[in-house]
Structure 1
Amino acid sequence: MEHIHSGSGKRPELQFPCLVSRLNTITNRKCQWHEYPKVRDYDFEDIRFYQWQKFPAREFATFLQDWLFFGLLRAILPAEIVVRVDDFVRTNDRGERYITTHKLVNDYLKPWEKILSEMPEEEMRKLTKENRRVLEKARNLSYHLSELPRALGPHLFPPLQLECVLPCALLGHALSISNASPITNDALCHAWTTGDLIAEQMELQGWCPFIVCGIKHSHDITTRCYFTTLGRPKTKKYKTPRNHARCTDTLCDQTRIKDAQHTTQHCTCATLLPPVARVAEAIRNASTPVLQYLPPTDSALSSLSFGFSNSSSPYVAISHVWADGLGNPRGNETPDCQAKRLQQAVDRIFHIPKNSKSTGSGGGWWWLDTLCVPADKKKYEKEYEKAIRQMKMIYAQADSVLIIDSGLETCDDDTSTLEVLARLRLSNWIRRLWCYQEGQFAKSIYVLVGSTPRSWDDIADAAIQLPREGYQRRIAEELMNTYSKLFFPRIMNETFVDEPEPLDSGVGAINMEVGEVPGESPFITERVLSEVIEQLSNRVATNIRDEPQCLSLLLNLNTKLVQDAVKEEECEECKVNEPNCAEGDRGDPPGVEQKKSSDSNDHFSIPSEAGMVMLLRLANQAAKLTPDHVRPRGCFPPSMIFPTGRRLRRRGFRWAPQSYLYSGALQSFSSFLPLKVHDARFRITRDRPSGLLCESEHGLRVMYPGLLITDIDSVRPVAEHFIIDSSDEPIEGMPKFWRCTYTKDVQGGGGAWEDIAPRSNSDSCDKMDMRQLAIIVDGFNNLDSSQSFSSILVKVTGECPEGGYTVQRLGRLVGAATPKDDDYEWMRDPWLRVKGSWLPLTQMWCVD
């Protein structure tokens, strides 16, 4: 849409049909917008519940655009601004009419913002509050109209085609931004569209589905529309776009190419090797091996000079995706042209003139994992493992970290700051597991844009100076908010002055080896862990078994214990699945895909359960050392028990996901739980504790309200949709009647609801005591007015010595408060009603 700033590429050839020929009867009065469906003889309740099949498609589509686009304009804008249909319509040579927004900002939004700014504060607050009610209703409708069908049914598509919905969403989003005045400071910028059409357009342009999926739910509609104007990314080597036809939402097929590559297509330069034996020696001595590229002279060929990092020899650590050409699974070697390119970039960071000779003392030093982590793990197994454990120290002690990505390499010196920010967000680099820590621990960051390393500080300063026109500054601010959690995060450096308690041996030895992570605290809080897992939920790793050791580095835990647990598990699997595997390699360096064997039992492609269990135990031990004044002890976000997906199989850890990395399925959980919980029944406000492993090994101890199922009054099977009736023992803020949808867990435990619940009271004595079933609810307050909330169905297995119930998770429930007199027919059926008794808000559960 024309009111949004355009990137350097070609705008997508999207056309938005205009179905409306004249303005409707809506004036600027808000109530008339709410009543307009009734004026047009449409039942709003049918619209509210998306019963599209009840309306004639062609007429209804015109009504929706009339209501959600032009009607919304007239309802929100003051009477002084006259809305003209012709200002938003363009006609092509064939007489076809399409929506345009090229006059929206200058002729409508700017005059409106001026009127708002001149209003008395109280009047402005009242007006913007009324506008929010209209905009929220329009947003809900636009969002559901923009969604592609997820399942087969008699009415696959909504009545308004996606090309007509998108302008409504863009307009509504723009109005929401303008309605958020500086005084109210309330930007109603929730999702106006699912983004299905935008994602489809990006993939048609040639963007990788893996990249598109990564930004689909992470940015608002304005930012995503700007992404579509950047143009299809190319590679510097071939100057042509990559072919992503074989890519999926969970993996970019192009990242499977890992052989070392030259900087240009027809280059045939020689290969350079570092002194691997000296590199290994440096690692054994807890030093950082660094390199310089020495250009050819009259008496010698080009080579790599070796050195050790110390206070007098600063170095640059290179952060990259192996598939972009700097990786090499065959060994510690790289093409001459790549080493030369790195040296030129590093010299520019250190401000070394081009004409100076890069001798042993003249050029800048740099570290690259391809060359500085021994690849021969059969000969240098201990050095390889120790190099991985030193990763955090390497990036933390580097003078700078240089980010290299193939998408940014195709830019040039004239590329705008906004486009650099967007290209980085759409890069493969930002979605890789190992790259996350490399930005976390950096002192300073440079991004290689074309052949020029740009300082991140300079990029951030330039982003602040971007103009407001075309929402450039807003887009930049949203992108910078994403990077603020990635680069220099303060949260990862939380320290406490208290002396830690003495550690037990074995699992309790959470400190890193001496010299590996100096001067950092081992304490872990829920806030830290939430931030880390949130970032990982959008990342992938080719070798998923790297995840536990990478997390241990991020959380400053004992990576060696995690490595040993993973290795021991691999050896056990090798004995069962591949007897000869123990004599070969146990895995490629970080970021390198494991080659699948002909046997289907590829143990490198599944998460390491032993590694994750060890990681969780170490994190729990660190959380127990957290000083009491910081938070109630514990570090696990309690909401980790709610998401669906595959979970660990080990007893006491079946509440935990097998992996926190992106898998295409929804794995995220809410980290916005209140720190204080007010119990209205006793008029007491308590600290809400973080999750902590039960010392009796019954699972994760969490505090949540819940409901014990007391009765299923039925002689028929219970359906997957049913009503919870807790009206006999109501509790303030909790729904008396709520509708549930049950989903069994992917693995183990529950089975279908019909298999869990008894069919009648008489059966309950034979199957199980009804008080053995309970529901843990993800929330503490005002659930009776919530649109929906998550919960899980559990089986009560006993009482924990530490207090509360020990339970086993069976499946997930999604609930919504439902009025007793709701006219849904299925709600009246007695066999769909389950009675329950509420437990206190401070109920403790040990969930396995």
Structure 2
Amino acid sequence: MERLSTFIHKLPGKLSGISYFWIDTLCIPAYGKNQPELRRVAISKLRDTYANATAILVLDSWLLSSKIASRHDVDILTQIFASHWNRRLWTFQEGALAKSLYVQFADGAYDVDRGVKRLELMQDLTLEYTLKPPVFARYFSLRGFKRSARGCSMAVKLSALFAAFRHRQTSNPSDEAICLATLLELPIEEILLAPKEEKMELMWRLVTRVPRDFVFYTGDTFEQKGLRWAPRTLLRSESNYRGFEEAFAMTDMDWGDRMPWAEPTQNGLKAWLPGLIFVSIKISMAASIYLEDESGIVYRFVPTGSQREISGPRSKPESGGFCSHFYPSYGLVAFILNSEEPNMLEAGLCHQGLLVAIQKSKPEFISARKLCNGYCVRTSSDGGSGELGMLSKIEPSSRNLAGLKNPNKISSAVAARWTKRNTCWVVD
């Protein structure tokens, strides 16, 4: 305690006059049967504790063994963001909610915000294109949350939290739901009282909006009806390094309420997007499917990842990957485009999306189950050269010509139709 008091009294300016301090290891009762109610009360007040503190002083054994004298700001900040403190789940709140953030080193406390400010003003081309970008990225994923989350939608906050959490870990998985609820200002008491294995599921059921890119998430999700879209964890895992590799790159908090969002419902995730609908047929193509819309434009769909089983026994896909064939029992199938404007598809460019099996179609919404993720390419329109010309020469005998405007243009193309731009999908 005396050592802690010494650290605090050596803080700069008015901070040196602070008489009282709060430390989690002393002020939060440990796990166990003793005083569970007091522990719940302490945890439920963590947000207020961190947000209302005059300053937060970080103590990390590795950083405490290092000195900052005569060191460059970029060197100090790199060490801070590489420390064990910056990789733990619980410590995100300390750094994200603090009014002022200091890190204790062997020879004094370092003001993180001022250090970054000095680095911003530094004119050095070498740093500009090497060390500055990763340092600023880690800084803004931590310190940008409190400043930018004011007035932002829950979808924007979740976007920022995913970007920050995917580099963090915890020894107690059930703590993740508690931390998320604290930062999102959800009813924390319900989650604290829930069984450990149900906390994360309950947290998702309390969320009102998520980034629309969650529709295209490919990592590990829950199996319960209505939550098959929901990530089991946002923390560091193999699942999360691949889960949003293409679809989820939004770490900028300047979206405000303009970020595309989706709404969790008891039947799945509701989102407004265009899609290409077609009838599933048994089609043998090792890597891709060709779709022709009402205007005669042909698109190539390439699946990525593994197929999801829906119901009933099915034969295994052919050995070339996911979806070398579809099954007739799927009925209507759709490719949901991760874009609000299908007409913006440019020839030759890849556009990310999701293949789904349609379960129910109503004027108000289309209910669907995920099959797999993939991307769509608008192919060139000539029949004698390029991708389409090559395809027509490869397999001229296996054409599916029903409904095609130009049956001589491409073999194995499936007739498809676009939905409205703002079609309401409920995807699970």
TM-score bin, normalised by smaller chain? 0.7 to 0.9
Report the Cα offset of residue 474 of structure 1: 6.7
Could you say which residue in structure 2 is the equivalent of 1:576? none
Conserved 8 A contact 2:303-2:372:
no
- Residue 804 of structure 1 pairs with residue 375 of structure 2: no
* Structure 2 residue identity aligned to 1:814: Y
Partner SS, residue 482 of structure 1: helix
Query: What is the CA–CA distance in structure 1 between the aligned matches of 2:121 and 2:250, rounded to whole Å?
Result: 32
Query: What is the CA–CA distance in structure 2 between the aligned matches of 1:811 and 1:842, rounded to whole Å?
Result: 22
* 2:166 corresponds to which of 530, 537, 550: 537
- Mapping of residues 606-645 of structure 1, within 5 Å: 608=197, 610-620=198-208, 635-645=209-219
Report the Cα offset of residue 414 of structure 1: 1.8
Query: What is the CA–CA distance in structure 1 between the aligned matches of 2:204 and 2:275, rounded to whole Å?
Result: 25
Once the two structures are superposed, residues 457-509 of structure 1 have per-residue CA deviations (whole angstroms, 9 ceiling, x without a partner) of: 431332134341533687336523431231153222228xxxxxxxxxxxxxx
Conserved 8 A contact 2:286-2:323:
no
Could you say which residue in structure 1 is the equivalent of 2:34? 379
Could you say which residue in structure 1 is the equivalent of 2:255? none
- Residue 556 of structure 1 pairs with residue 185 of structure 2: yes
* 2:279 corresponds to which of 710, 729, 732: 710
Once the two structures are superposed, residues 161-190 of structure 1 have per-residue CA deviations (whole angstroms, 9 ceiling, x without a partner) of: xxxxxxxxxxxxxxxxxxxxxxxxxxxxxx
- Residue 839 of structure 1 pairs with residue 419 of structure 2: yes
* 1:740 corresponds to which of 293, 298, 302: 302
Partner SS, residue 378 of structure 1: coil
Conserved 8 A contact 1:405-1:428:
yes
- Mapping of residues 334-483 of structure 1, within 5 Å: 340=3, 342-349=4-11, 364-375=19-30, 377-409=32-64, 410-468=66-124, 470-471=126-127, 475-476=131-132, 479-483=135-139
CA, structure 1 residues 527+793, in 2 after alignment: closer, same or farther (shift >3 Å)? same
Equivalenced residues, count: 391
Could you say which residue in structure 1 is the equivalent of 2:248? 670
Once the two structures are superposed, residues 525-577 of structure 1 have per-residue CA deviations (whole angstroms, 9 ceiling, x without a partner) of: 32222222222222222222111111000011111111222x2xx4xxxxxxx
Q: Which has the larger radius of gyration?
A: 1
Partner SS, residue 433 of structure 1: coil
Query: What is the CA–CA distance in structure 2 between the aligned matches of 1:389 and 1:661, rounded to whole Å?
Result: 21
CA, structure 1 residues 379+688, in 2 after alignment: closer, same or farther (shift >3 Å)? closer
Report the Cα offset of residue 667 of structure 1: 2.1
Query: What is the CA–CA distance in structure 2 between the aligned matches of 1:533 and 1:747, rounded to whole Å?
Result: 27
Conserved 8 A contact 1:718-1:753:
no
- Residue 822 of structure 1 pairs with residue 386 of structure 2: yes
Conserved 8 A contact 1:707-1:837:
yes
- Residue 491 of structure 1 pairs with residue 148 of structure 2: yes
Report the Cα offset of residue 690 of structure 1: 2.4
CA, structure 1 residues 429+800, in 2 after alignment: closer, same or farther (shift >3 Å)? farther
Could you say which residue in structure 2 is the equivalent of 1:774? 334
Once the two structures are superposed, residues 635-672 of structure 1 have per-residue CA deviations (whole angstroms, 9 ceiling, x without a partner) of: 21111011212111111111111111121231224365
RMSD over aligned Cα atoms: 3.4
Could you say which residue in structure 2 is the equivalent of 1:726? 292
CA, structure 1 residues 702+371, in 2 after alignment: closer, same or farther (shift >3 Å)? same
- Residue 525 of structure 1 pairs with residue 154 of structure 2: yes
Query: What is the CA–CA distance in structure 2 between the aligned matches of 1:742 and 1:469, rounded to whole Å?
Result: 39
Once the two structures are superposed, residues 432-455 of structure 1 have per-residue CA deviations (whole angstroms, 9 ceiling, x without a partner) of: 211111112111111223331012
Report the Cα offset of residue 371 of structure 1: 1.7
CA, structure 1 residues 402+560, in 2 after alignment: closer, same or farther (shift >3 Å)? same
* Structure 2 residue identity aligned to 1:460: V
Could you say which residue in structure 2 is the equivalent of 1:335? none
* Bigger relative contact order, structure 1 or 2 (CA pairs below 8 A, ≥6 apart): 2
* Structure 1 residue identity aligned to 2:243: Q
Conserved 8 A contact 2:307-2:323:
no
Query: What is the CA–CA distance in structure 1 between the aligned matches of 2:369 and 2:330, rounded to whole Å?
Result: 14
Partner SS, residue 670 of structure 1: coil
User: TM-score scaled to structure 1, two decimals?
Assistant: 0.42
Partner SS, residue 276 of structure 2: strand
Query: What is the CA–CA distance in structure 2 between the aligned matches of 1:540 and 1:747, rounded to whole Å?
Result: 31
CA, structure 1 residues 645+465, in 2 after alignment: closer, same or farther (shift >3 Å)? closer
Partner SS, residue 90 of structure 2: helix
Report the Cα offset of residue 611 of structure 1: 1.8
Report the Cα offset of residue 412 of structure 1: 3.3
Report the Cα offset of residue 344 of structure 1: 2.2
User: TM-score scaled to structure 2, two decimals?
Assistant: 0.80
- Mapping of residues 225-304 of structure 1, within 5 Å: 293-294=1-2
* Structure 2 residue identity aligned to 1:722: S
Query: What is the CA–CA distance in structure 2 between the aligned matches of 1:543 and 1:745, rounded to whole Å?
Result: 31
* Structure 1 residue identity aligned to 2:164: Q
Once the two structures are superposed, residues 592-612 of structure 1 have per-residue CA deviations (whole angstroms, 9 ceiling, x without a partner) of: xxxxxxxxxxxxxxxx4x222
Query: What is the CA–CA distance in structure 1 between the aligned matches of 2:15 and 2:93, rounded to whole Å?
Result: 31
Conserved 8 A contact 1:418-1:472:
no
Query: What is the CA–CA distance in structure 2 between the aligned matches of 1:642 and 1:532, rounded to whole Å?
Result: 17
CA, structure 1 residues 543+804, in 2 after alignment: closer, same or farther (shift >3 Å)? same
Once the two structures are superposed, residues 696-753 of structure 1 have per-residue CA deviations (whole angstroms, 9 ceiling, x without a partner) of: x2211101111111364x6xx52341232224445xxxx6222412432578679865
Report the Cα offset of residue 823 of structure 1: 4.8
Query: What is the CA–CA distance in structure 1 between the aligned matches of 2:259 and 2:295, rounded to whole Å?
Result: 24
Stretches of structure 1 that go unaligned for 5 or more consecutive residues are 1-292, 295-339, 355-361, 496-523, 571-607, 621-634, 674-686
Partner SS, residue 10 of structure 2: helix
Query: What is the CA–CA distance in structure 1 between the aligned matches of 2:13 and 2:193, rounded to whole Å?
Result: 43
CA, structure 1 residues 649+431, in 2 after alignment: closer, same or farther (shift >3 Å)? same
Conserved 8 A contact 2:274-2:421:
yes
Percent identical across equivalent pairs?
A: 22
Conserved 8 A contact 1:645-1:745:
no
* Structure 2 residue identity aligned to 1:813: G
Query: What is the CA–CA distance in structure 2 between the aligned matches of 1:784 and 1:778, rounded to whole Å?
Result: 14
Conserved 8 A contact 2:354-2:373:
yes
Query: What is the CA–CA distance in structure 1 between the aligned matches of 2:29 and 2:335, rounded to whole Å?
Result: 52
Could you say which residue in structure 2 is the equivalent of 1:794? 356
Partner SS, residue 365 of structure 1: coil
Conserved 8 A contact 2:288-2:324:
no
Could you say which residue in structure 1 is the equivalent of 2:374? 813
CA, structure 1 residues 720+345, in 2 after alignment: closer, same or farther (shift >3 Å)? farther
Once the two structures are superposed, residues 404-435 of structure 1 have per-residue CA deviations (whole angstroms, 9 ceiling, x without a partner) of: 33443323312211101111222222222111
Query: What is the CA–CA distance in structure 1 between the aligned matches of 2:259 and 2:124, rounded to whole Å?
Result: 42
Query: What is the CA–CA distance in structure 1 between the aligned matches of 2:284 and 2:391, rounded to whole Å?
Result: 12
Report the Cα offset of residue 619 of structure 1: 1.9
